[in-house]
């Protein structure tokens, strides 16, 4: 279920992130070996899955969590065969044919290192997968600006991003890409693309997978971006990190002699392992937890080169301009391109508009860059350094429980809150040049619970429930009524055209002079 700020709810299509391992056991003469004992052990949680090869020598493990496994095969008259590390990706069908040797030649055949077929022969899906180490070590500077791991899409072949941040996968439209975390949809249903901050911290991510061609029928889109999270494991482990980026090595802003202030701090940590409760939980661990916290502090000033009226123009003197300045009421040009003021005003309508004066005094600053009259309009005469700070706080909690040899479940809750100031209006996609920045607040909550039941070797039931709640609020420092009262103390009834105004002239026009 996906809930947006407006209160509407939509069902979330959940797809399984589990994979499978299958293969055929063969003797040295390439004959099938039936009744062989096959044991698959999870290296993260140390739980085991057992199977016996059929008459055709085939074995099949279904609904496996993505991760690393060891495989042990035993058969009478043959040496034991052991693979010390198998990596299973999300939604992967990993085929592994096992060649056995006679016991007289060797008692145990062990294959070390990450093993598995280089080419996927089970289906024609084309995709790219990155594990936790690759996500952490690839030179992707997403922690310098945000905490969203979707920046990894920049490293995926076939994925492109436009100037508005929309992502295309496999040549499809941005609306033809499905995004999910642990099978729970994180698609932004109000706009094309993903809810980037609905994703967990990279500390929790086990795998980042993108598929773009020949997806299974359960995926309705051309492209699919799947994030799988990891469990705590049977050993305690943790991490702590600090990412710092400052303006020490930045260049100065051109023609300013100064550089904008910048200080980025991303910090946090994680901790996971078996859940141990003395006198309540004993024996082999069956419950595992993983928790992390990640925060970002961004202090930055946005430099803006702007055009503002010169000091002479603020007094009504436009003589530096060659274009005639026209009186909007008479249609005649002002003598010398100067708008009269004070005692020189023969008609109040010909004077500088008091609303314009209030606007200049309260909202438009004076120039702070010396520009010649000849360069006015082609070279900015005002540099504004606007602070745009932002804060991000988020945590993730995942708990896994092995109920029986055939049943397991997990639950995860991810929370993230972002607060900041922005010069860009998110709704109108406009920039507030002379106005103060917006105060934006974004809240993200994602919850999922999954139950997996291996009823038989040929029948599996997986039940999942996911809930995503996204909220975005924009506050502007100025109130409209206060701005109007500052600009003009005049109340105009637009329906009856009745004016009551105490400034210079009744029903004073709000029009500014125009150029010919």
Q: Which stretch, 214-218, 346-350, 463-467, has highest mean pLDDT?
A: 463-467
Note whether residue 215 is domain-resident: yes
- Dihedral sign of CA atoms 151, 396, 442, 209 in order: positive
> What is the tens place of the pLDDT at every residue in 279-293?
666 556 788 999 999
> How high is the pLDDT of residue 240?
94
> How high is the pLDDT of residue 413?
96
468 and 482 in one domain?
no
Q: What is the mean pLDDT of residues 330-342?
A: 82
> How high is the pLDDT of residue 412?
95
407 and 358 in one domain?
no
> How high is the pLDDT of residue 6?
32
Note whether residue 6 is domain-resident: no
Lowest mean pLDDT among 333-347, 453-467, 487-501: 487-501
Segments forming the whole domain that contains residue 151: 126-304+387-475
In CATH, what number is assigned to the domain containing residue 452?
A: 2.170.130.10
Say whether pLDDT at 426 is over 50. Answer: yes
> How high is the pLDDT of residue 509?
35
Note whether residue 63 is domain-resident: yes
* Between residues 484 and 332, the one the model is more confident about: 332
Which of 81, 96, 115 terminates a domain? The answer is: 115
In CATH, what number is assigned to the domain containing residue 88?
A: 2.60.40.1120
294 and 316 in one domain?
no
Note whether residue 421 is domain-resident: yes
Query: What is the rounded average pLDDT for all residues in the chain?
Result: 79
Say whether pLDDT at 490 is over 70. Answer: no
Residue 50 pairs in a beta bridge with: 39
> How high is the pLDDT of residue 515?
42
> What is the tens place of the pLDDT at every residue in 455-485?
887 788 889 899 999 998 888 877 777 777 7
CA distances from 291 to 124, 141, 205, 297 (A): 36, 23, 12, 21
503 and 458 in one domain?
no
Note whether residue 12 is domain-resident: no
> How high is the pLDDT of residue 122?
66
Residue 298 pairs in a beta bridge with: 264, 390
199 and 222 in one domain?
yes
Reported as a pLDDT band with limits 50, 70 and 90, residue 508 is very low
Lowest mean pLDDT among 306-320, 368-382, 421-435, 492-506: 492-506
> What is the tens place of the pLDDT at every residue in 378-422?
888 888 888 888 899 999 999 999 888 888 899 999 999 999 888
* Between residues 218 and 320, the one the model is more confident about: 320
> How high is the pLDDT of residue 281?
60
Q: What is the mean pLDDT of residues 167-181?
A: 85
Note whether residue 374 is domain-resident: no
Distance from the Cα of residue 510 to its chain's centroid? 45
> What is the tens place of the pLDDT at every residue in 50-108?
889 988 999 998 888 888 899 999 988 888 898 888 888 887 888 888 888 887 655 67
Q: What is the mean pLDDT of residues 4-19?
A: 48
Q: What is the mean pLDDT of residues 218-227?
A: 80
Q: What is the mean pLDDT of residues 299-309?
A: 83
496 and 402 in one domain?
no
239 and 143 in one domain?
yes
Reported as a pLDDT band with limits 50, 70 and 90, residue 446 is very high
CA distances from 232 to 16, 182, 281, 406 (A): 20, 15, 16, 20
Beta strands 287-306 and 390-402: pairing type?
antiparallel
Note whether residue 14 is domain-resident: no
Structure tokens at 312: 């002479």
Task: Report the distance separating Cα 228 and Cα 207, nearest Å.
Answer: 5
**pTM (two decimals):** 0.71
218 and 132 in one domain?
yes
Reported as a pLDDT band with limits 50, 70 and 90, residue 120 is low
147 and 64 in one domain?
no
Q: What is the mean pLDDT of residues 363-376?
A: 84
Say whether pLDDT at 433 is over 80. Answer: no
Say whether pLDDT at 265 is over 80. Answer: yes
Q: What is the mean pLDDT of residues 294-301?
A: 88
> How high is the pLDDT of residue 327?
81
232 and 180 in one domain?
yes
Which of 91, 115, 139 terminates a domain? The answer is: 115
Task: Report the distance separating Cα 295 and Cα 240, nearest Å.
Answer: 12
Q: What is the mean pLDDT of residues 327-355?
A: 78
- Is 186 within 8 Å of 199 (Cβ atoms)? yes
Q: How many CB atoms within 10 Å of residue 169? A: 26
Note whether residue 375 is domain-resident: no
DSSP 434: S
- Encode burial over 122-134: b for 16+ CB neighbours within 10 A, e otherwise: eeebebbbbbeee
Reported as a pLDDT band with limits 50, 70 and 90, residue 269 is very high
Which of 51, 81, 115 terminates a domain? The answer is: 115
> How high is the pLDDT of residue 441?
92
DSSP 98: E
Structure tokens at 393: 């706080």
Number of domains composing the chain: 3
Is 7 buried (19+), middle (13-18) or exposed (0-12) by CB count in 10 A?
A: exposed
Say whether pLDDT at 121 is over 70. Answer: no
- Is 66 within 8 Å of 132 (Cβ atoms)? no
Q: What is the mean pLDDT of residues 350-379?
A: 82
174 and 101 in one domain?
no
- Is 95 within 8 Å of 67 (Cβ atoms)? no
**Which residues lie closer than 8 Å to 77 by C-beta, 6 or more apart?**
102, 103
178 and 68 in one domain?
no
> How high is the pLDDT of residue 272?
93
Reported as a pLDDT band with limits 50, 70 and 90, residue 5 is very low
Task: Report the distance separating Cα 364 and Cα 377, nearest Å.
Answer: 16
> What are φ and ψ of residue 339, in 5° steps?
-85, 125
């Amino acid at each position: 279920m996906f809930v947006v700020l407006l209160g509407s709810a939509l069902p979330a299509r959940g797809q399984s992130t589990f994979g499978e391992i299958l293969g055929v056991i063969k003797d040295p003469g390439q004959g099938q070996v039936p009744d062989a004992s096959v044991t698959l052990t999870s290296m993260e949680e140390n739980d085991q899955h057992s199977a016996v090869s059929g008459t055709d020598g085939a074995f099949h493990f279904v609904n496996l969590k993505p991760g690393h496994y060891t495989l042990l095969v035993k058969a009478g008259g043959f040496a034991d065969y052991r693979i010390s590390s198998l990596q299973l990706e999300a939604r992967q069908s990993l085929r592994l044919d096992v060649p056995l040797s006679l016991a007289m030649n060797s008692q145990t055949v062990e294959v070390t290192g990450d093993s598995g077929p280089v080419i996927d022969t089970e289906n024609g899906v084309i995709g790219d997968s990155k594990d936790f180490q690759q996500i952490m070590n690839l030179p992707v500077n997403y922690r310098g600006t945000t905490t969203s791991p979707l920046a990894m899409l920049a490293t995926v072949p076939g994925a492109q991003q436009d100037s508005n941040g929309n992502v295309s996968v496999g040549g499809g439209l941005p609306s033809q890409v499905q995004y999910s975390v642990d099978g729970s949809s994180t698609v932004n249903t109000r706009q094309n693309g993903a809810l980037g901050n609905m994703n967990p911290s990279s500390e929790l991510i086990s795998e980042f997978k993108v598929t773009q061609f020949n997806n299974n029928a359960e995926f309705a889109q051309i492209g699919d971006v799947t994030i799988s999270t990891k469990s705590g494991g049977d050993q305690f482990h943790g991490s702590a990190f600090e990412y710092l980026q400052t303006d020490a090595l930045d260049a100065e802003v051109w023609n300013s002699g100064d550089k904008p202030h910048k200080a980025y701090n991303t910090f946090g940590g994680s901790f996971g392992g078996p859940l141990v409760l003395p006198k309540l939980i004993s024996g082999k661990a069956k419950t595992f937890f993983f928790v992390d916290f990640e925060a970002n502090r961004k202090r930055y000033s946005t430099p803006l080169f702007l055009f503002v009226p010169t000091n002479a123009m603020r007094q009504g003197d436009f003589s530096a301009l060659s274009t005639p300045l026209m009186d909007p009421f008479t249609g005649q040009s002002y003598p010398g391109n100067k708008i009269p003021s004070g005692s020189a005003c023969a008609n109040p309508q010909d004077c500088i508009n008091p609303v314009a004066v209030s606007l200049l005094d309260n909202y438009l600053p004076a120039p702070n860059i010396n520009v010649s009259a000849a360069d006015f309009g082609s070279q900015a005469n005002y540099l504004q350094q606007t602070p745009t700070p932002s804060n991000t706080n988020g945590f993730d909690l995942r708990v896994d429980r092995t109920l029986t040899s055939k049943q397991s479940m997990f639950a995860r809750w991810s929370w993230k809150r972002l607060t900041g100031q922005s010069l860009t209006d998110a709704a109108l996609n406009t920039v507030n040049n002379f106005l103060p920045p917006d105060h934006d607040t974004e809240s993200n909550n994602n919850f999922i619970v999954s139950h997996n039941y291996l009823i038989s070797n040929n029948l599996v039931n997986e039940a999942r429930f996911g809930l995503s709640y996204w909220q975005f609020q924009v506050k502007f420092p100025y109130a409209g009524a206060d701005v109007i009262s500052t600009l003009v103390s005049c109340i105009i009834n637009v329906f009856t055209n009745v004016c009551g105004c105490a400034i210079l002239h009744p029903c004073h026009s709000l029009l500014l002079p125009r150029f010919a």
